């Protein structure tokens, strides 16, 4: 019997997990959608504040209810916020586990979204009885702030989030870093349709390995074209003459942003210049897409832009060696 599909969509308050989760569930024809905030509310009714003070706070101000000795309180404000958040989220983790277990028992597909989906605390490997896919959504700081401003103006709520915006951004960055550490894809939610398509690409696993030939300066252009066609560059690998394995670097965040950072820092730029030079500009990518049509359109667009790409037949993918930037 096929395992049920479970999609976990995490992210800090205000990055759009609810909107994206609803649309992903609709596209995948999944009728069961659960917000971790609802699980938290059920737990609040069952566990008194006296026993779980951080549970009865919001994710962004749970640090104010931490019960730890004074000498153990983190000195840095950011560390206190994270400590409170993790304690808060850990209270919800058992409920997430039980919901996924029940969905598997009922053979029901499920989408779960919310700030309590924390990489490292929640892992797809925890649920071998289900086909679990996990992503973390992120947003640029100013765009993130504007969402709360707009919410406050249009719906009369969001002011509290603006008051705690600094803390929310601390949690935002912590989730992104935790995702990178645990190999969970991070998707920038700057346009709803593209974000939905990138999540679908993670779930549907339409993938292709391609051989690409172009200089380093064209890397951002290549990643942009793929993103414009709802595809994602997952990695870059370099076949170095004299080395048996390909040196591979994996992208966990938006590859366009990661290439900008690489090219904007002298040390990393020089490292990649060396790799491109040593491989004679030949490199490999694994590309994911929400469907075959998007993948075909992306490859056509790359060719039209003068970027030489050649699909690699299954079984002919080069052996890889993890490199700097992994």
For every residue of 157-193, DSSP letters joined together read --HHHHHTHHHHHHHHHHHHHHHHHHT--EEE-SSHH
**Mean pLDDT along residues 268-279:** 94
Judgement on whether residues 180 and 215 belong to the same structural domain of the protein: no
Q: Residues of 24-63 as b/e, b for ≥16 C-beta within 10 angstroms?
A: bbeebebeebbbbbebbeebeeeeeeeebbbbbbbbbbbb
pTM over 0.75: yes
Last residue of a domain, which of 171, 199, 227?
199
CATH of the domain at 311: 3.30.1340.20
Q: What is the pLDDT of residues 52-98, one digit of tens each?
A: 999 999 999 999 999 877 777 788 999 999 999 999 999 999 999 99
Q: Which of 108, 115, 138, 151 is nearest to 8 (CA)?
A: 115
Judgement on whether residues 74 and 111 belong to the same structural domain of the protein: yes
Judge contact between 12 and 175, C-beta under 8 A. Answer: yes
DSSP calls for 58-72: -TTTGGGG----GGG
Judgement on whether residues 147 and 220 belong to the same structural domain of the protein: no
Domain of 235 in residue numbering reads as: 206-322
pLDDT value at position 2?
A: 81
Q: Which residues contact 277 (CB under 8 A, 6 or more apart)?
A: none
Judgement on whether residues 149 and 9 belong to the same structural domain of the protein: yes
Last residue of a domain, which of 178, 199, 220?
199
Measured CA to CA, the distance from residue 165 to residue 167 in angstroms comes to: 5
Judgement on whether residues 219 and 317 belong to the same structural domain of the protein: yes
Judgement on whether residues 258 and 156 belong to the same structural domain of the protein: no
Backbone angles phi, psi at 204, to 5 degrees: -80, -20
- Asked whether the predicted pLDDT for residue 208 surpasses 60, the reply is yes
**Mean pLDDT along residues 231-253:** 87
pLDDT value at position 118?
A: 98
The mean-pLDDT minimum among 1-10, 65-74, 274-283, 302-311 falls in 65-74
Judgement on whether residues 234 and 187 belong to the same structural domain of the protein: no
- Asked whether the predicted pLDDT for residue 313 surpasses 80, the reply is no
Provide the 3-class DSSP secondary structure of residue 131.
strand
Judgement on whether residues 94 and 184 belong to the same structural domain of the protein: yes
What is the number of structural domains in the chain?
2
Measured CA to CA, the distance from residue 225 to residue 229 in angstroms comes to: 7
- Asked whether the predicted pLDDT for residue 1 surpasses 70, the reply is no
Last residue of a domain, which of 176, 199, 222?
199
Q: Enumerate helices (H) and strands (E) in the chain, giving the number of each.
A: 11, 12
Measured CA to CA, the distance from residue 180 to residue 201 in angstroms comes to: 18
Judgement on whether residues 44 and 88 belong to the same structural domain of the protein: yes
CATH of the domain at 134: 3.40.50.300
Residue 157 pLDDT level (bands cut at 50, 70, 90) = low
Structure tokens at 258: 């990661």
Judgement on whether residues 232 and 316 belong to the same structural domain of the protein: yes
- Asked whether the predicted pLDDT for residue 270 surpasses 80, the reply is yes
pLDDT value at position 325?
A: 43
pLDDT value at position 75?
A: 82
Judgement on whether residues 124 and 216 belong to the same structural domain of the protein: no
């Amino acid at each position: 019997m096929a395992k049920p599909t479970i999609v976990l969509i995490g992210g800090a308050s205000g990055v759009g997990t609810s909107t994206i989760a609803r649309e992903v569930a609709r596209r995948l024809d999944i009728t069961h959608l659960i917000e971790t905030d609802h699980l938290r509310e059920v737990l609040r009714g069952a566990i008194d504040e006296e026993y779980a003070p951080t549970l009865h706070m919001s994710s962004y101000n749970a640090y104010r209810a931490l019960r730890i000795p004074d000498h153990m309180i983190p000195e840095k404000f950011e560390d206190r916020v994270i400590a409170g958040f993790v304690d808060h989220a850990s209270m919800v983790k058992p409920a997430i586990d039980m919901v996924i277990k029940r969905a598997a028992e009922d053979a029901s597909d499920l989408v779960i979204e919310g700030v309590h989906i924390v990489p490292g605390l929640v892992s797809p490997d925890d649920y071998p009885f289900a086909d679990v896919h996990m992503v973390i959504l992120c947003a640029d700081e100013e765009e993130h702030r504007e969402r709360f401003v707009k919410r406050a103006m249009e719906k009369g709520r969001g002011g509290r989030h603006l008051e705690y915006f600094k803390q929310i951004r601390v949690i935002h960055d912590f989730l992104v870093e935790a995702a990178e550490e645990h190999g969970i894809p991070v998707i920038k939610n700057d346009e709803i349709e593209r974000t939905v398509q990138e999540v679908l690409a993670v779930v549907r696993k339409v993938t292709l390995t391609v051989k690409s030939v172009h200089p380093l300066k064209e890397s951002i252009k290549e990643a942009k074209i793929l993103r414009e066609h709802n595809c994602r560059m997952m990695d870059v690998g370099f076949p170095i003459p004299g080395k048996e394995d390909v040196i591979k670097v994996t992208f966990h965040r938006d590859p366009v942003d990661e290439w900008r950072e690489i090219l904007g820092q002298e040390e990393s730029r020089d490292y990649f210049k060396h790799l491109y030079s040593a491989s004679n500009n030949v490199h490999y990518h694994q590309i994911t897409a929400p469907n075959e049509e998007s993948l075909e359109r992306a490859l056509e667009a790359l060719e039209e832009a003068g970027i030489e790409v050649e699909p690699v037949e299954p079984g002919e993918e080069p052996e890889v060696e993890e490199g700097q930037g992994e």
